[in-house]
Amino acid sequence: MDTHTQIRPAVSYWLLAGVVMVFFQVVIGGVTRLTDSGLSITEWAVIQGTLPPMNEPEWQQAFDAYKVAARKQYETLHADMTLKEFKVIFFWEYIHRLWARLMGMVFLIPFLFFWAKKWIPGWLMRRLGGVILLAIMAATFGWIMVASGLNDDTRTWVSAYKLIIHLLIATFLFGVLFWTWLLSTGSPPAHSHQTQIRRWGWRLSALLLLQIGLGGLMAGMRAGLIHPHFPFFIQGQAFLDALTAQGGSSAGSWVDYEPSTSVKAWVQVVHRFSAYLLSILILVLFWKIRNWNPGPALQRAAYLLLGATFIQFLLGALTVIFSIGKVPLLYGVLHQGGALVLLATLLYVTFRAGSVRAEG
């Protein structure tokens, strides 16, 4: 197949709805993480967990289970927590899981209808198979991540390494679904510099995925708290001391990273400098597109990319600056959502350069 026709508007809107729902699922996941809500539900009950506790004894039972299964977090962060306050952190984890179930329903019911109507061509069916696989992996690793913080008296939060796996799978799911939606809208005309732009687009998208993974590591380790300043030279000696703290180069400190100042400082260094590198390369791509003069549609896409990059960089700086004692909820969530917006604009620029096969 060499075109992206045969897609009815209803199917395209359905794919777009899926993109939006995945976006908000990642954002809700960010809220869950920043409010220390992720360990509040101590079991993975796919069917039974659809309903929250329905009365005070059930709420107390859930609270008592949290105190035992997440004892390190409870005693370290929430030792004076009341049942009413527990309901707040339970709410965010519950909404995160409920939204995932809702996404499944929004996907399945229209899919069955479109499939019965024969509105889904072969190329789209194959891509949807990949989407389903990624969704299952995201859900599975989500529970593996949560389980890493339960019944472990040495861990205050979930494992940062399992967090980034969960985040990257969800991000990849968002990217694949967004690209599939773009393909469903049809093929834009190819430009004279199609190969160069698309090569840049794919490579920068891969670099952005790496940057998002580093951001997950920052979040999982609370590494932003080590040096809440921008740029580095503010209180530079204190940050240098953190980088060179004893034990930071040992493998054991990277496994048991919570007490290691050095590990968190190095994670922050790598995340910051990869942000600089990504921003510079996106500016280079923008300059190249302007010089190539490929047409108004791609130029508008390039300006969207430039704007998204500036906003994301600014949100990253604000998140670090206000990470005093704890990561700021508003800026942290906006920064995580901004990463997906930046990925979408990169993919859009790549798409606008011209697409010649439905397989994308």
Predicted pLDDT of residue 230: 82
Q: Is 149:73 a contact under the CB 8 Å cutoff?
A: yes
Task: Give the number of other CB atoms < 10 A from CB of residue 316.
Answer: 24
Q: Write out the chain's pLDDT in tens, 360 residues.
A: 334 556 889 999 999 999 999 999 999 999 999 999 999 998 887 666 678 899 999 999 999 999 999 999 999 998 999 999 999 999 999 999 999 999 999 999 999 999 999 999 999 999 999 999 999 999 999 999 999 989 887 888 899 999 999 999 999 999 999 999 999 987 766 666 678 888 999 999 999 999 999 999 999 999 888 888 887 666 666 677 777 766 555 777 778 888 788 888 889 999 999 999 999 999 999 999 988 877 788 899 999 999 999 999 999 999 999 999 899 999 999 999 999 999 999 999 999 887 544 333
**Cα torsion angle, 117, 119, 121, 126, sign:** negative
Q: Give residue 253's Cα distance to chain centre.
A: 26
Closest CA to 231 of 263, 205, 269: 269
CA–CA separation, 139 and 282 (whole Å) = 32
- What's the pLDDT score for residue 194? 76
- Is the pTM of the predicted complex or chain greater than 0.85? yes
| Cα–Cα distance, 5 to 94 (Å, whole number) | 40
Tokens for 229?
């300043």
pLDDT number for residue 257? 85
Using CA atoms, how far apart are residues 304 and 310, in angstroms rounded to an integer?
A: 10
Tell me how many degrees the CA angle 270-271-273 measures, rounded to the nearest 5: 65
Q: Encode burial over 197-209: b for 16+ CB neighbours within 10 A, e otherwise.
A: bbebbeebbebbb
Contact 121, 13 (CB under 8 A): no
pLDDT attached to residue 190: 62
- In the numeric block, the tokens 């929004």 are attached to 106
Q: Which two tokens stand for residue 40?
A: 């509040």
Q: Give the span between the Cα atoms of 181 and 34, in whole angstroms.
A: 30
Residue type, 136: I
Structure tokens at 42: 């101590």
pLDDT single digits (tens) 93-115: 999 999 999 999 999 999 999 99
CA-CA distance, 184 to 163, in Å (whole number)?
32
Do the beta carbons of residue 157 and residue 327 sit within 8 Å? no
Burial class (CB in 10 A: 0-12, 13-18, 19+), 84: exposed
**pLDDT per residue as tens digits for the range 217-256:** 999 999 888 888 887 666 666 677 777 766 555 777 778 8
